[in-house]
C-alpha cells in the first residue's frame, strides 16, 4: 500500500473533529468570501514553504549537496501535516529524521539537523508568544497573560537550556527510567537503553563540535529569521480571514493574537492543545 494515500485522509481527521465540535458548516467557511479564503491559504502556503526552505538550508549546510532542494522542502512541508495527527505535535521531527536516515544519513546527524530545525522554530514562536503575553498583561488580561507567559517561558527556556547544555554535558537515560525499562524488558530492555545512550552520546558530541563554530552560529541565526518570518505569515492568515468577516485588524495584532493562542495550545490537556488554541 502507498503510505501517501493513507496519510492524506488521516491528516483531515482533526479538521473534521473541529468542524463537528464547533458546529462549523460549509456556509460558515464561505462567509468570509472567496478572495479572503484564498488569501489565507496563500499565507499559510508561504508559511509552510518558508519552513521547508529552512529545513533544506540546514540540511544542505551540514550534509553538502544532499538530495534535491525541492524534495527536502516537500518532506518538511509534509511533516507539518503529519504532526497535527500526533499527540502534542511530535510527529514532524520523526518524519524528517526517518527520511534522512532512509537516505543513508547517520542517525545522530539526522537528529542534530531535526533539533536545529525545531529549536529555531521554538525560539521564534516562544519570543513572539512572550511579546503577546506582555501585551495581554498591559491590557489587563491577567489570566490569559499568565497562561501565555507561563507556557511560553517554560517551553522556550527548557528547549534552549537543553540545546546549549548538550554541548557541555553528555546526556544519558535517567537511572530511574533505565531501571524500569531493564526491569520490564530484561536483556532486550538493556539493549534498548544501550542503543539510546549511544545515540544521545553521539548527538551531544555533534552538538559540542558544531555549536562552537561560527558557521553553526550563522546557520542558527538565519534559520531563526526564517522561523520568525514563517510564524508571521501564520499570524497574517488570521488577519486576512478577519478582514473577510468585516473585522479590521492590523498585521501585528493578528500575529500577537495567533501566537498567544499558539502558546495556550501547547498546554498538555488535549491532543495538540485542541480546543484551547481555537478559544
pLDDT for the residue numbered 89: 46
Contact, 256 vs 132, CB < 8 A? yes
User: What are the cell numbers at 214?
Assistant: 561560527
* DSSP string over the chain: --HHHHHHHHTTHHHHHHHHHTT--HHHHHTT-HHHHHHHHHHHHHHHHHHHHHHHHHHHHHHSS-S-HHHHHHHHHHHHHHHTTSGGG-HHHHHHHHHHHHTT--HHHHHHHHHHHHHHHHHHHHHHHHHHHHHHHHTT-HHHHHHHHHHHHHHHHHHHHHHHHTTTS-----HHHHHHHHHHHHHHHHHHHHHHHHHHHHHHHHHHHHHTSHHHHHHHHHHHHHHHHHHHHHHHHHHHHHHHTT----HHHHHHHHHHHHHHHTSTTSGGGTTTTT-
- What are the pLDDT tens digits along the chain (279 aa)? 454 555 556 556 666 766 676 677 767 666 777 888 889 889 999 999 999 999 999 999 988 888 888 988 888 888 877 666 554 445 567 788 888 888 888 887 888 888 888 888 888 988 999 999 999 999 988 888 898 888 888 888 877 877 777 777 776 677 777 778 777 777 777 777 777 777 677 677 777 777 778 888 899 999 999 999 999 999 999 999 888 878 888 999 999 988 888 887 755 444 444 444 444
pLDDT for the residue numbered 98: 83
Q: Longest C-alpha distance within the chain, in Å?
A: 64
Contact, 264 vs 273, CB < 8 A? yes
State the residue for C-alpha cell 516562544.
Answer: 126
How far apart CA 130 and CA 259 sit, in angstroms, is 9
Per the rule left: phi > 0, alpha: psi between -120 and 50, beta: everything else, 51 is: alpha
Domain residues of the chain, as ranges?
A: 33-167+212-273
pLDDT for the residue numbered 57: 94
pLDDT for the residue numbered 91: 57
CA separation, residue 55 to residues 43, 45, 140, 210, 275 (Å)? 19, 15, 39, 17, 29
The pTM for the full model equals 0.78
Written in H, E and C, the secondary structure of 152-195 is HHHHHHHHHHHHHHCCCCCCCCCHHHHHHHHHHHHHHHHHHHHH
Amino acid at each position: 500500500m502507498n503510505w501517501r494515500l493513507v496519510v492524506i485522509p488521516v491528516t483531515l481527521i482533526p479538521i473534521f473533529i473541529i468542524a463537528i465540535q464547533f458546529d462549523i458548516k460549509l456556509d460558515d467557511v464561505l462567509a468570509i468570501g472567496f478572495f479572503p479564503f484564498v488569501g489565507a491559504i496563500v499565507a499559510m502556503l508561504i508559511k509552510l514553504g518558508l519552513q521547508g526552505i529552512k529545513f533544506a538550508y540546514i540540511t544542505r549546510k551540514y550534509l553538502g549537496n544532499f538530495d534535491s532542494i525541492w524534495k527536502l522542502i516537500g518532506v518538511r512541508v509534509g511533516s507539518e501535516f503529519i504532526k497535527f495527527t500526533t499527540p502534542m505535535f511530535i510527529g514532524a521531527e520523526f518524519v524528517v529524521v526517518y527520511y534522512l536516515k532512509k537516505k543513508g544519513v547517520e542517525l545522530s546527524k539526522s537528529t542534530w539537523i531535526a533539533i536545529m530545525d525545531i529549536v529555531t522554530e521554538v525560539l521564534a514562536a516562544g519570543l513572539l508568544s512572550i511579546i503577546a503575553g506582555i501585551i495581554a498583561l498591559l491590557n489587563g488580561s491577567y489570566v490569559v497573560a499568565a497562561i501565555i507567559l507561563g507556557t511560553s517561558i517554560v517551553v522556550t527556556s527548557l528547549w534552549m537550556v537543553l540545546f546549549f547544555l548538550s554541548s557541555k554535558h553528555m546526556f544519558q537515560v535517567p537511572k530511574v527510567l533505565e531501571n524500569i525499562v531493564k526491569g520490564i524488558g530484561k536483556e532486550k530492555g538493556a539493549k534498548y537503553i544501550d542503543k539510546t545512550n549511544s545515540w544521545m552520546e553521539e548527538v551531544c558530541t555533534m552538538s559540542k563540535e558544531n555549536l562552537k563554530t561560527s558557521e553553526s552560529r550563522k546557520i542558527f541565526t538565519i534559520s531563526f529569521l526564517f522561523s520568525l518570518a514563517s510564524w508571521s505569515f501564520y499570524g497574517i492568515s488570521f488577519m486576512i480571514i478577519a478582514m473577510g468577516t468585516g473585522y479590521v485588524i492590523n498585521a501585528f495584532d493578528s500575529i500577537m493574537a495567533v501566537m498567544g493562542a499558539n502558546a495556550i495550545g501547547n498546554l498538555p490537556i488535549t491532543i495538540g492543545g485542541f480546543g484551547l488554541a481555537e478559544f
